Amino acid sequence: MTNLISQAFKNNEKKLVTFVTGGDPDLETSIEIIKTIINNGADIIEIGMPFSDPMADGPTIQLSSNRAISKGIDLENIFSLASEAKKTRSDLPIILMGYYNLILYFGIEKFVKKCKENGVDGLIIVDLQPEEDEDLINELKKNEIDLIRLITPTTNEERLKLILKNETDITNGPRGINKIPRTWEHFTEERFYTNFPMNLFLNQKGWEAFFASIPKWWWQPFFAITIILIVIITYFFLEKLRVSPWGRMMTAIRENEKAAAAAGKNVTKRRIEAFILGAVIMGLAGAFLGQHLRLIEPTQTFDPSKMTFLVWVMLIAGGSGNNKGAILGAFLIWFVWSSSELVTNGVIEILATMFDSIDISILKNRAGFIRMLFIGLLLQLILQRFPKGILPEKRPAISGKSQKYAG
């Protein structure tokens, strides 16, 4: 949201949001109405753009639109109303509300530019579908104007997901966040090696010569080494934690929650601690995933088959409750998953050469299901041979030096 709109709701307090159809009953009276509303404590003001066919509105607003149109009110008049409102109180959020046809006829780029010039902070377009808002969204983002979407008590869950997915303030909607800069690319920037402490090792020309001498693909092994180091550090940290009094207490809660609670352990608090620890590790992994892909978007990046099913298979196959098993399972299943893509594509190409009537595009669309089936069969084979995973959990030995942990 723009600063003015977000500031209006920053304390989650109730706000007085008023609506006036612009130009009803005439332009001069409409200006006086808006000024009166502002001077009497309105927190946000919506100015309706008169439209000849306001089918989404009730009879009162329909009649007010007809009266304004009969007086010759057009978008230029609406912009002048917004400008007068902003002059009356510069920190008041101004929102225009209306129909998309008006904007298309006026011209999207021209309309948004006029909004910016006259102090408009947001738009409510009642008949604009999330699937069709890209052109308007792009112009609004350039001019830092919000598009406020409508949700009603009858909005179903699927529609709500679509509306939220197309929200652009944080995630850039269905287009996702792209061109994410890689952290290690900053090493080659002048501001990195000309400042302390890097300037202690080489001067600017020395660093420039160094980076010019290394191949452009240097970041790939650097990234791999970074990931391996992070995995090793995380593994040893979790292993130390697992055999600590806290870790043994978490194991006890997992095995018998009621018995742990009866022993005086704060189960709820321990659950929250485990959740926070897991969230930190997943956040770190997600940051590296974004660095690697350079794109985060809602349809392909977070494919449920990869983010849920494969992760579950990795833990079960490697050995649940076991850090070594989790790492082994991750490498094994991801290797098989990646290799299966090469195998299925090869099989499809062979079938295509053998049978001219086969539609390759259909087979490629079904290839993902074949890979999932293959992974499922592999999991069955592993569990037949290793019921508790390839590396089953080994309980830590309890030494006499164990310290008591107050739950």
Statement: residue 106 has pLDDT above 60:
yes
pLDDT tens-digit readout, 271-329: 999 999 999 998 998 888 888 777 777 666 666 666 778 888 898 999 888 889 999 99
**Are 219 and 210 spatial neighbours (Cβ–Cβ below 8 Å)?**
no
**Interatomic CA distance for residues 95 and 78, integer angstroms:** 11
CATH class of 3-175: alpha beta
* The pLDDT value given to residue 293: 78
Annotated catalytic residue, options 57, 133, 139, 146: 57
Cα of first residue to Cα of last residue in the chain, in angstroms, is 43
pLDDT tens-digit readout, 358-381: 777 777 767 777 788 888 888 889
Residue 120: alpha-carbon gap to chain centroid:
27
Joined together, the tokens standing for residue 63 give 């009649």
Joined together, the tokens standing for residue 376 give 């499922």
Mean pLDDT calculated for residue range 118-123: 93
Neighbours of 86 (CB within 10 A): 20
Burial of 91 (0-12, 13-18, 19+ CB in 10 A): exposed
Delimit the domains of the chain by residue range: 3-175, 183-214, 303-396
**Are 391 and 324 spatial neighbours (Cβ–Cβ below 8 Å)?**
yes
**Interatomic CA distance for residues 11 and 15, integer angstroms:** 10
Burial of 312 (0-12, 13-18, 19+ CB in 10 A): middle
* Interior/surface letters 208-223, b for 16+ CB within 10 angstroms, e for the rest: eeeeeeeeeeebeeeb
**171 confidence band (pLDDT: 50, 70, 90):** low
* The pLDDT value given to residue 406: 42
Joined together, the tokens standing for residue 286 give 């997600």
Long-range Cβ contact pairs of 322-330 (< 8 A, separation 24 or more):
322/389, 322/391, 322/392, 322/393, 322/394, 323/235, 323/238, 323/239, 323/242, 324/235, 324/391, 325/389, 325/390, 325/391, 325/392, 325/393, 327/231, 327/235, 328/390, 328/391, 329/389, 329/390
**Interatomic CA distance for residues 82 and 93, integer angstroms:** 10
**Interatomic CA distance for residues 161 and 334, integer angstroms:** 30
pLDDT tens-digit readout, 261-283: 999 999 999 999 999 999 999 89
pTM score: 0.55
Annotated catalytic residue, options 28, 32, 43, 46: 46
**151 confidence band (pLDDT: 50, 70, 90):** confident
* The pLDDT value given to residue 355: 77
- Per the annotation, the verdict on 297 as an active-site residue is no
**405 confidence band (pLDDT: 50, 70, 90):** very low
- Per the annotation, the verdict on 57 as an active-site residue is yes
Neighbours of 269 (CB within 10 A): 10
* Interior/surface letters 22-44, b for 16+ CB within 10 angstroms, e for the rest: bbbeebeebbebbeebbeeebeb
* The pLDDT value given to residue 300: 62
Statement: residue 407 has pLDDT above 50:
no
**Are 16 and 43 spatial neighbours (Cβ–Cβ below 8 Å)?**
yes
**Are 124 and 61 spatial neighbours (Cβ–Cβ below 8 Å)?**
no
pLDDT tens-digit readout, 197-246: 888 888 888 888 887 888 877 777 888 888 899 999 999 999 999 889 99
